[in-house]
Structure 1
C-alpha cells in the first residue's frame, strides 16, 4: 500500500467540512488503495478557533479513512505579522515532529498557498529519499507583487524569487492549478530551452474541480429557503466573497442598464468588506432588481446555483494576472450547476471558450456585463439549453475522479524518474 502525505497549512477546514481539493483527492486515493495523510495547522484561518492539542507539537485524527496531522501553530488573525508567525511556527513544528509519526511516505505533496509547505515537503522527502511533488495553487511571489505589497526589484522581492526558483529546482514534479502557469517558468527563462535548469516535462496541470456526486447530493438534500429562487424570473447569480478583487460593484452597475427588464433580477450571495459600499450603491441608484442575500452555507450553494438562470464570474481585471487561466472553485461549481456562465474579465486559457459554456465581456464595465447578460437572456430555448449542456459537460472533465487519475500520472512520473 503506497503512502502519501499532503502538506496543506489550511486543510483543517477540510476536516470539518469533509470536502475540498485535498480531502477529495484523499478520498479518491483511499478508495484506490492508498494510505493518505493530510498535514495542516491546528489554527483555523477564517475563524478564531483551533483543534486543541493537549501536549506536544501535533495531534493525529482520522476521518473516513484519511489521517489528519494537526500541527501546533501560534494563533493568527488577519493578514499581518501574526499570520507570518503562524506560517513560520507551522513549518518549524512540522519539521520538529514528523520523525515521531512512525511512518514513511512514498510520496509527499507540499501545497502552497505559502511556500513553506513546499519547502517542508522537499526537505522531508530528502530525509526519506522519496519523490517530492510541489503543488502551486497560486503563483508566489507574483501574487504579492501584483498586490503591490512588496516590490519585485527590492532586496526582499529578489530573495523571494530566488526561493521560488529553489523550490522548482528541488521538486521532482510541479503541479500547477492553472493551465498557463508553466508559461511563467519560460517567462523567467528558468527552463532548459533557455539554458537554465528546469525541465518543463516535470510540470503538470491539475486544476481545481468539483465532486459531482456530492454537488448533486447537496442540490437535493440542502435546499435553501429563498423566495427569490423559486419564481419564474431570469435569475442572475453571483456567489462568492465581497472583496475589492471580486469587483462586485460591477454587478450593481450592470443592474442600472437592466432596469426595464422586469423579469431579470440579480442575486448576490456572500459577505465581505465591500458589503457596506454595495448597499450604498444600490440605494444611490435606487435599484430594486438587485439584492444582496448575505452569507449562506457552502452546502447551500449547489441548490442556489441549480435554481439560477445564469451565473457570474466577477473580478477586477487589474488586481490579478488572468493571462494564465482561472482556478477558482466557484467556476467549477458554476459548471456543475449546468447553467451558462459569464466572466467579466478576459482570461488566458479560457475554459468558457474551450467548452463553449458561456461568454466573456469585452471590458470590465457594468454596461458590458449587462450586454452579455442580455445576450443569454435573449437566446432561444435550443441555444440556451446547449450552453447548459456544455457547462455540465465541462464539469465532468473536472470531477475529482478524473483529477485523481491525473494525480496518479504524476506519481508514475516521479517513480519512473527514480527508476522504481
Structure 2
C-alpha cells in the first residue's frame, strides 16, 4: 500500500470549485499512482461571500474526481484587513481538532505537506506532524514575510517584522523538507546566512524546487470544449492579450499607455481579461485618451482562459518592477498557461532564473516603459513567419517540462526523501 498523504492549502477551496490547480493536480496524479491523498482547505472561498457549510461541526467533507476534500470551518474573509487575519487564525486553530477527529475516523497519515501562502498553515503542519510522529514537508509558494516587506505593508526592521522573520526561520529549520516554487528562492536562505555552510541551521539539501505548472491534457481539452463567444478574438487583428488581476502589482496601466503609443495602428488591438481594484481607474483612462484599440473584457471564468490564449497573437506578463523581488524567478500560473498556448510572451520584468530566456519563448523588458513594450509588440508582429512560429513552438515545448505529470514525479521524490 502506498503512502497516505495530507495536502494542506488554506485556499484550495477554489481548486475544489474549479476542479483544477496545483494541489488538485498533484492529488489527481498521485491517486492514479495508488497514493491515498486528502486535501485540507478552508470552508470559505478567497475574497468571496460563498462558503462550504460545515453545520455544527468544525469540518465537513466531499469528494470530487476521486479526490477527498476536508473543509475546515473558518470565518469569512473579504479584502486584506482584520477579517482575513481572523480567517487565517481560525483555520490554524481548527486544524488541530479537525486533524485529531479525522485521524480517529480515517487513521493517521504517513506525511503532511503543508503549503503557504500564509505561514500559519506550515506552523500547524509542523506541530501536528510532530504529535502524530510523521514527517512534514513545508511548501513555500511565496516568500513571506519578504513579499510583505517588499510591498511596504510592514517594515522589515519593525518589531512585528522581526517577529515574522523569526517565525520564517523556525519553519525552515523545523520542516523535514522544503519545497520552493521559484528556482532562486534558496538564495534567500543564503542571503540570510541561515544555511549550514555559513554556520546556520538549515541544510540546503532538504530544499527542493518544484515550480507551478500546467495540466497540459486539461488545457488542450479546454481549448476545444470551452469556447468563449467573443467576436474580437476572431478578428483578423494582432491580438495583444493580458489575462489576470487588475491591481497595482500587475501594473496594467502600463498596457493602456502602450495602447496610446500604438493607437494609430488599427491592425493591433489590446484585449484585457480580468477584474480588480484598478478597473475603474483603467476604464476612465481609456475614455480620457479616446482609445478604441483597447477592450476591457472584465472577469471571465478560468475555464475560458485556454481558448482565449489560443486566439492571441502575443501574451503579456505584466508586472510592477518595484512591488516584488523578481530576482528569484517566476512561479505564476499565468506563465505556464501562456506557454501552453504556444504563443510568444512579453514579460515587463527581467526575471532571475528566467524561464522565458531558457526556452527562448518570448521577450523580457529591461526598463518596463510603455515605449519599450510598444517596440517589443511591433518587433514580434513584424517577425517573419518562421521565427514567429519557432518562438511559439518553444513556448509549447517548454510547457511540457512543467506538466503536472512531470511535477508530480518530483514531488514523489521529495516525499520519498523524508520517509
TM-score (norm 1): 0.97
Q: Any residues of structure 2 matched to 1:231-380 within 5 Å, and which?
A: 231-380=235-384
- What residue number does 2:190 align with? 186
Q: 1:237-264: per-residue Cα shift (whole Å, max 9, x none)? A: 0001110111001111111222332211
- What residue number does 1:69 align with? 70
User: Counterparts of 1:281 and 1:73 in 2: how far apart (Å)?
Assistant: 39
Worse overlay, 96-105 or 152-161: 96-105
- What residue number does 2:117 align with? 113
DSSP 3-state at the match of 1:359: strand
Q: Are 2:40 and 1:36 aligned?
A: no
Shift of 1:158: 0.8
Q: 1:276-318: per-residue Cα shift (whole Å, max 9, x none)? A: 1111211222221111111111001100000111000001101
DSSP 3-state at the match of 1:323: helix
Aligned-residue RMSD, C-alpha: 0.9
Q: Any residues of structure 2 matched to 1:59-98 within 5 Å, and which?
A: 59-98=60-99
Shift of 1:362: 2.4
Shift of 1:82: 1.2
DSSP 3-state at the match of 2:330: coil
User: Counterparts of 1:306 and 1:145 in 2: how far apart (Å)?
Assistant: 37
Q: Are 2:216 and 1:216 aligned?
A: no
- Runs of 5+ consecutive residues of structure 2 not aligned to the other structure: none
Contact 2:48 2:77 in 1 (8 A): no
- What residue number does 2:25 align with? 24
User: Counterparts of 2:259 and 2:17 in 1: how far apart (Å)?
Assistant: 37
User: Counterparts of 1:255 and 1:12 in 2: how far apart (Å)?
Assistant: 37
Q: Any residues of structure 2 matched to 1:374-413 within 5 Å, and which?
A: 374-413=378-417
User: Counterparts of 1:338 and 1:414 in 2: how far apart (Å)?
Assistant: 37
Contact 2:47 2:77 in 1 (8 A): no
Q: Are 2:143 and 1:157 aligned?
A: no
Shift of 1:9: 0.6
Shift of 1:61: 1.6
For 1:147, which of 145, 151, 160 is the aligned residue? 151
Worse overlay, 251-260 or 359-368: 251-260
DSSP 3-state at the match of 2:49: coil
User: Counterparts of 1:107 and 1:188 in 2: how far apart (Å)?
Assistant: 29
Shift of 1:178: 0.6
DSSP 3-state at the match of 1:345: coil
User: Counterparts of 1:391 and 1:321 in 2: how far apart (Å)?
Assistant: 24
TM-score (norm 2): 0.98
Aligned length: 415
Q: Are 2:179 and 1:175 aligned?
A: yes
Shift of 1:159: 0.8
